[in-house]
Structures are given as C-alpha cells and as structure tokens.
C-alpha cells in the first residue's frame, strides 16, 4: 500500500466516524510564540484544547511537521536510523470532548487491525507508568497480553507540545518487523529498527505553565 493510499484511508476512516477532515496548517504557527515550527498535528487545535475556541465535532488531519529543535527534536537521529525525519506528515485524530482514552484506543486498534489488516500479534503497546486506566483498557477490552505492554515514565510516555501548554500521558503502538531486524521490545532498551512506533495516543489532561506545573 502506497503512502497516498494510507493517508486517504486514514482520513476516510475518521470521516466515517463523524470527524471533520481539516487541512494541514502552516509550518509556522500563527499567534503562538511558544514554538518555532509546527511539530505535531495538535498544534492548530491548541486553543480548542485550552477552551479558548469551540469546535462542533472531532477532527482528523494529515499535518505537515518540522522538527529541528526544541522538545521534539529528531535532528540528532536523522541519517542514523530509517525512522527519524526532520520533515514529515503526521496523521491524527482529535477529540474535543466526544471521546477520550477508551474511544481513542478503540479507533486506533480498529484502523490498524481491520482497515489495514495488520496482524494483532505484530503490535506492542506502551503506557505511562501512572496511567492505570489505559493499561486496564488494553488488557481487558482489547485483549492485549500483559507481557506485550510496557509501563514507562515521563521521558517516553508523557507528551507536550512545548515547554508550556497542553500536555498529558500517552500510549504508543509499536509494530514488530521481525527477528531479522535488531532491537528489543519497548521498555527493555533500544527498539532499533525492529520495533517501530506507528501510533501515539496522546491524552491531553493538563496545561503546563511557565513554572512547569
């Protein structure tokens, strides 16, 4: 399946789930000096997450992103791995009160395993070490085995757009390319080129201020 097909399939899937398809915003954020470049799909929805702007329904987009500095900086890894880029498109779905952790997990799992037909046994999960709610849902509702879930700390499983603003714990989905590639399971060390992150479910629960609170 080609990139354009995956992109369109993703957008069509979430449109069928009552999401509005939103165009990619500019690489330079407007009216926000907390970051230099758009580094994630949620940047254009920052005011909505902060309650400063209202949207009628959930959104989905394919956002052009640039990461060359700041918190989410992949520059030092570009050229050394096959999975880090400075410029890329980020597919995303965004809920503004319609659903939260359970719905986000359900959508991601259904899209990967039903729409893209990825075998469930090829997928591994990480959750924030304090996010018992997400871990429980993966275990009891999705049916992931405990040994395929890694509980990690802030460095790996807590996402923020920048030094301030919306942030929260996240749950990531990794794809296992197989034993012919080097790398260990998420949570056990360097995942290498074997276990590659293909989805990051970010749960925006907090708004960090300049004091870091």
79 lies in the same domain as 137: no
Q: Residue 106 falls within a domain, yes or no?
A: no
Q: Does 111 map to a domain?
A: no
In this structure, the strands spanning 149-152 and 165-176 are unpaired
109 token code pair:
């799992």
**Is 150 among the domain residues?**
yes
Listed in sequence order, the residues at least 6 apart from 204 whose beta carbon sits closer than 8 Å to its beta carbon are 42, 49, 166, 167, 168
pTM of the complete model:
0.91
User: Rounded distance, CA 198 to CA 112, Å?
Assistant: 10
Alpha carbon distance 113, 105 (integer Å): 12
Task: Note down pLDDT in tens along the chain; length 213 residues.
Answer: 899 999 999 999 999 999 999 999 999 998 888 888 898 999 999 999 888 999 989 999 999 999 876 555 667 777 777 777 788 999 999 999 999 999 999 999 999 999 999 999 999 999 999 999 999 999 999 999 999 999 999 999 998 877 878 889 999 999 999 999 999 999 999 898 999 999 999 999 988 887 766
* Residue 146 to residue 26: CA distance in whole angstroms: 41
Determine, yes or no, domain membership for 105. Answer: no
Q: Are residues 139 and 69 in the same domain?
A: no
Q: By residue range, what is the domain housing residue 69?
A: 1-98
- The CATH number of whichever domain residue 181 belongs to comes to 3.30.930.10
Domain stop point among 36, 65, 98: 98
């Amino acid at each position: 399946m080609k990139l354009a097909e995956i992109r369109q399939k993703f957008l069509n899937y979430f449109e069928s789930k009552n999401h509005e398809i939103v165009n990619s915003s500019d690489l330079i954020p407007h009216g926000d000096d907390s970051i230099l470049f758009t580094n994630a799909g949620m940047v254009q929805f920052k005011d909505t997450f902060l309650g400063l702007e209202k949207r009628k329904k959930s959104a989905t987009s394919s956002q052009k992103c640039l990461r060359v500095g700041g918190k989410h900086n992949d520059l030092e890894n570009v050229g050394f791995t096959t999975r880090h880029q400075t410029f890329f498109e980020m597919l995303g779905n965004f809920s503004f009160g319609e659903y939260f952790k359970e719905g986000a997990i359900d959508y991601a799992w259904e899209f990967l395993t039903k729409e893209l037909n990825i075998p469930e046994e090829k997928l591994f999960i990480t959750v924030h070490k304090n996010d018992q709610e997400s871990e429980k849902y993966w275990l009891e509702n999705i049916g992931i085995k405990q040994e395929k879930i890694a509980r990690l700390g802030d460095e790996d499983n807590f996402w923020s757009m920048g030094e301030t603003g919306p942030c929260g714990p996240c749950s990531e989905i990794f794809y296992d390319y197989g034993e012919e590639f080097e790398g260990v399971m998420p949570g056990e060390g360097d995942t290498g080129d074997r276990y590659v992150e293909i989805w990051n479910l970010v749960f925006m629960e907090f708004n960090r201020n300049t004091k870091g609170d």
